[in-house]
Homo-oligomer: A and B are copies of this chain.
Amino acid sequence: MLDLYNKQTKCLVALDSIIFGFDGENLKVLLVKRGIEDNLETWSLMGGWLQEDEGLNEAADRILFEHTGLRDVYLEQLAAFGNPFRDPVMRTVSVTYKALVNIEDYDHKLANKVTTKWFSLKTLPKLLFDHAEMVALAVERLKANASLYPIGFELLPDKFTLPQLQNLYEAIFDTEFDKRNFTRKILSTNILIKMNEKQKGFSKKGAFYFTLNKEKYKNNSAFNFLSLTNPDKIL
């Protein structure tokens, strides 16, 4: 039987992660500048190779940590990419992950500000290999998830205002929502807790901060979170 195994082709397995962040205005992706060996102006996703005795999730976590110093980011598997010529150097199958992080939180933990940079989704640079395709798929899935589940809070600080939350969802879906309808829908899920504190400095009136009711949030309680029944709103 070992024979049968030994006859098969072996491949490198890479892990590439699409890290989404939100700066209050635009949805962004964290990219890494490729080492000097290549064309200097190519950016790539957070990537690395799978090592022995390491699971896929584990490897993706480790690679993200090595690039950024970030731990405990929830990485979710996206898809495997295996075009035989996707990496011209050697046959590599890449398993992609996506994560949402809070940019503020991230920036002060950031290990390597020289080689990593946030890019707005609308002005992405040229990406390595098939990484642009990976980003596109990640965005598509992000939209699908965000309309069904209350994700997106990972992209915000622990306390955030409703206008901030709305901006985020508007950035994800690249559209605008009615303020009153948005507020009503979000509050009706009861996953937010209003604080007594107001945001200072941004607007004159100041907006109340909210925090996540983590109990309810974990319970997955808000299925069909934003029920966007109209595809035009999403696409």
Chain A contacts to B: CB under 8 angstroms: 1-2, 5, 8-13, 37, 49-56, 59, 77, 79-84, 89-91, 93, 95, 144, 148, 220, 223-224, 227-229, 231, 234
Contacts and interface: CB of A to CB of B under 8 A. Distances in A.
A48 to B, nearest CB: 9
Contacts of A89: 1-2, 5
Copy number in this complex? Answer: 2
A12 B8 contact: yes
Contacts of A220: 231
B51 A9 contact: yes
21 contacts: A5-B89, A5-B90, A9-B50, A9-B52, A10-B10, A10-B12, A10-B13, A11-B13, A11-B50, A13-B93, A52-B84, A52-B91, A53-B84, A56-B83, A56-B93, A77-B80, A80-B95, A93-B95, A220-B231, A223-B234, A227-B229
A231 to B, nearest CB: 4
Contacts of A11: 10-13, 50
B54 A84 contact: yes
Given A5-B89, A10-B11, A55-B84, 20 more contacts: A1-B37, A8-B49, A9-B49, A10-B10, A10-B12, A11-B12, A11-B13, A13-B13, A50-B82, A50-B93, A52-B84, A56-B81, A77-B80, A79-B80, A80-B80, A93-B95, A144-B148, A220-B231, A223-B229, A224-B227
Nearest to A94: B80
Contacts of A8: 12, 49-51
B13 A82 contact: yes
A79 B2 CA distance: 26
A56 B80 contact: yes
A144 to B, nearest CB: 8
Contacts of A148: 144
Contacts of A91: 52
A89 B6 CA distance: 10
A10 B92 CA distance: 9
